[in-house]
Amino acid sequence: MAAAAPASAAPIGVRQGTTFRTAIFPNDRFTVRDRTQLTGRRVNLRVGIDYPGCDQTNYSVCDSYAMLNKLDGFDLQPRVTIPFTGPIDVSSVNDTNVFVQGPGGRTKLEQLVWDPATNVLAGTTNGFLTENRQYRIVVTSAVRDASGHAINACGGRACVVTFTTRTASEVLDHIRKGLDNGSAYTQAGITSRKAGFVQDGTADVFLAASVPPSVGGPVDGIVRLDQTTTDPNQLQASVVPNLINPATVSYYAFGSFLTPRYQFESADNHHDDVNGNTDGVIPAVPTTQTAKPFGNDRIGFVLILPAGPVPAGGWPVAIYGPGFTRSKYDIFVSADHNAALGIATIATDPSGHAYGPNSKVTVKHSGSSTTFLGYGRGRDLDGDGIIGSGLNDGVGPTAHKQGDSTYLPSRKPIDGLQSGLVQTTVDNMALARSIQAGMDVPGVGSNVLSHSQISYYGISFGGIYGTMVMGTDPQIARGLLSVPGGPIVDIARLSGFRGDLATALSHGKPDIRNGGPGLDGFTESLPSRVVDPAQPSIAAPMANPAHGSILLQELFGSTNWYDRSGSPETFAPLLRQRPLPGQPSKQLLFQTAYGDQTTTDVAAGTIYRAGDLFDLVTFYRNDKSPTYNKDPHGFLADPTIAGRSGAQQQLGVFLQSGTVTNPDPTMFEVPVSIIGNLNCLHYPDPQTGQSPNPQPNPPETCPTRPEDLNGGFEPPLPMP
């Protein structure tokens, strides 16, 4: 008698469990109703069920989930996870059998990672989703298992899971409304929005012609005295470079104004208080409410006035936003042509920047010198006795140094820089309102700046919070954002800031660094958005991620999710796709550099795709310039980069008239001609452990893909 044929194995399907790791995620199943939230929901991930209980060895995990549980929905570009009952063929996954669909259409999953240890597929949506809307994740049986057979997705039918996206931009817009109706100033104890220019009875306003050149060495017309430690008397001197033609300028004026402070600041600057507040963080509030300021800060600014008499109505003025670890003094290398074109320029410091509060500046003029406070915004938040130029010293939460020289992590581990970015955006909006209150400069006149002709431009970090300013503030209708990028964690892991990210990881409980081949002791195994033939080792999908990389991917995904309220890609759609109520039409120009090794081209692409802004992007082809072997990141201000002069010319004309020009077609694309170039780093990915090696005129290996048009969305498919 013949033996009975063995029963065939059950087909592979999608797990339909009730916990975070056994169900498709994101998923409204993991929320509860909450009337204090604009979505009517609040995230509810459960300790001991969706994430483990925590002790002194792993409390950063619990802290992270506690932060996520304050949000009113899921990420706007979520890391989607799909658990299967067995192995699948990842190459069979495409935009018609696994996708997210909702407002805007259908969007595919990018950067696919298959975890063979758990049979979980993860990927990030190509498109940036709309806030406070419902979306559906769809998985069909057209996916193939490891043997090439069709899976049985959800018991003979496609899997469809609904989730609601969070609100994010409303956090900042609520604060902006408080500035405009005055409640923010009242709560902060501010009775006057007007700026001042006098310290110790002396006006810090100087005829430009009386100030010697300031380029270093003995030629030091303007000198910074930075408080670099907690000793208020330890001041480090450095010359402020000044590249502005003095013949085009009448006055250099140094002033200050009050701004509401939303970031928490403890008495000793480096501990968590009994209410769970952490230095540098803006506490989360339900999204129907408005954050309240803890008080106010007086912050400094530099104002450069054009030569000639003040015109009726005041000089048109451009607010300049300095970059990360930079300061308001960069105005002197970032405003070459403004004054000659009749534009005043003004700049303040980002949150936590410009060293300690006792920092000073000395200006030599007419054979004498005047020294006055520079209003440094840095604080020793980590308790190491050092006050730096921005990183770890006030822009966001930090670890805290202990007596044995070890560090305890921040209790707000996934805040990143979002609190500092929100605060800095508020400061620049408050600066605009100080201008509108009347800028009265001693020895020059009253209302020297226009109340209505206020524009903005910023570099790097200044382009990042500048995108937030332009998306939120109706008082500023023209803006140039140079080399922005987002989100912050993606910038950090792919750039020269990777070492700083590694340091932050080392302070976590637990430390989840997993070693090489990635640089700086961790390997996240996140594939690039596209397979770049120039970098075949960084290919999608990733079927064999490095040991420990999934924990890194989860952490980075959670950080992006939490940080969207202070991240530029959230505000990009508000620039013209979905402007907030009361916003005027904006005149916008972006600048990005080929092979930017600091904010990176792919992070810039995230912003432009989110807002469908590619037609507004000037692409500086550093690879076609004589300085191809240098990081072109700061090309708008860096005199060692070949494209600086052209970028400055483009800036000046745009600020003056809103006209977009091409200063040099041999080095500039206006607009960017191949948007696929913003999917590639154009230098080896640091996850490989390689070092950048730029080359001139490399072949075009990153073509534009159809799915990157229309904000990363494709036509919807009939729902199964």
Q: What DSSP string runs through 325-369?
A: T--GGGGGGS-TTTGGGT-EEEEEPPTT-SS-TT-EEEEEETTEE
- In this model, does residue 267 exceed pLDDT 80? no
Angle, helix 418-436 to helix 169-181, in steps of 10 degrees: 30
- pLDDT band, residue 4 (cuts 50/70/90): very low
Tell me the per-residue pLDDT of 55-85, one tens digit each, with 9 for 90 and over: 999 999 999 999 999 999 999 999 999 999 9
| Both tokens assigned to 257 | 């104004």
How many angstroms separate the CA atoms of 446 and 621, rounded?
Answer: 44
pLDDT value for 533:
58
pLDDT digits (tens, 9 = 90+) for 80-103: 999 999 999 999 999 999 999 999
pLDDT at 545 over 80: yes
Give the DSSP letter string of 414-465. Answer: T-TTHHHHHHHHHHHHHHHHHHHT---BTTTBSS-EEEEEEEEEEETHHHHH
Band (535; pLDDT cuts 50, 70, 90)? low
User: What average pLDDT does the segment 26-50 reach?
Assistant: 98
pTM of the model: 0.96
Spatial separation of the C-alpha atoms in residues 107 and 83, rounded to whole Å: 20
Which helix (H) or strand (E) element contains residue 552? helix 549-563
Q: What does the pLDDT read at residue 78?
A: 98
What average pLDDT does the structure give for the chain?
94
Beta-strand ranges (E) seen in 262-334 are 295-306, 315-321
Q: Domain segments of the chain: what residues?
A: 28-166, 170-482, 488-712
Q: How far is it, in rounded angstroms, from Cα 145 to Cα 527?
A: 21
Rounded CA-CA distance 49/472 in Å is 39
Q: Which CATH number fits domain 28-166: 2.60.40.420, 2.60.40.1220, 3.40.50.970, 2.60.40.10?
A: 2.60.40.1220
Q: What string of H, E and C letters represents the secondary structure of 41-78?
A: EEECCCECCCECCCCCCCHHHHHHHHHHCCCCCECCCC
Residue 370 has pLDDT above 80, yes or no: yes
Q: What percent of the chain has pLDDT over 70?
A: 96
Amino acid occupying residue 212: P
The candidate with the shortest Cα–Cα distance to 221, out of 319, 300, 332, is 332
Contact between 592 and 604 (Cβ < 8 Å): yes
User: Can you list the positions of beta strands (E) in 476-519?
Assistant: 478-482
**What is the token pair recorded at 706?**
């159809």
Residue 707 has pLDDT above 50, yes or no: yes
Mean pLDDT score, 656-662? 98
Separation between Cα atoms, residue 6 and residue 56, nearest integer Å: 51
pLDDT at 158 over 60: yes
**What is the three-class DSSP state of 573?**
helix
Helix (DSSP H) and strand (DSSP E) numbers for the chain:
11, 29
DSSP code at position 150: B
Q: pLDDT category, 392, cuts 50, 70, 90?
A: confident
Q: What is the pLDDT of residues 591-620, one digit of tens each?
A: 999 999 999 999 999 999 999 999 999 999
3-state secondary structure 203-217: ECEEEHHHCCCEEEC
CA distances from 530 to 225, 490, 534 (A): 47, 16, 11
Q: Say if residue 157 is exposed, middle or buried (CB neighbours under 10 Å; 0-12, 13-18, 19+).
A: exposed
Helix pair angle (418-436, 461-472), 10° resolution: 60
Identify the pLDDT of residue 532: 57
Please give the helix or strand (H or E) that residue 469 lies within, else none: helix 461-472
Q: Tokens 């912003």 sit at which residue?
A: 607
Question: Residue 3 contacts by C-beta under 8 Å, 6 or more apart in sequence?
Answer: none
> What is the per-residue burial (b if ≥16 Cβ within 10 Å, else e) of 516-554?
eebbbbbbbbbbbbbbbebbeebebbbbebbeebbebbb
Q: Which two tokens stand for residue 469?
A: 């300013």
Higher pLDDT, 345 or 271: 345
Q: Helix (H, G, I), strand (E, B), or coil: what is residue 27?
A: coil
Q: What pLDDT, on a 0 to 100 scale, did the predictor assign at position 6?
A: 43
d(CA 94, CA 61): 33
The model's confidence at residue 3, banded by pLDDT at 50, 70 and 90, is: very low
Question: Which residues are CB-contacts of 606 (< 8 A; sequence separation ≥ 6)?
Answer: 77, 128, 485, 486, 487, 490, 569
331 Cβ contact partners less than 8 Å away, ≥ 6 residues apart: 302, 304, 320, 322, 345, 346, 347
Mean pLDDT of 282-293: 97
Residue 8 pLDDT level (bands cut at 50, 70, 90): low
The CA distance from 69 to 46, in Å, is 9
How many angstroms separate the CA atoms of 567 and 603, rounded? 11
Q: Of 237-246, 251-260, 388-397, 502-511, which gets the smallest average pLDDT?
A: 388-397
- What residue type is assigned to position 85 of the chain? T
Looking at the predicted structure, is the pLDDT value of residue 150 above 80? yes
Q: Output the pLDDT for position 531.
A: 63
Cα(286)–Cα(40) distance, integer angstroms: 10
Residue 391 pLDDT more than 90?
A: no
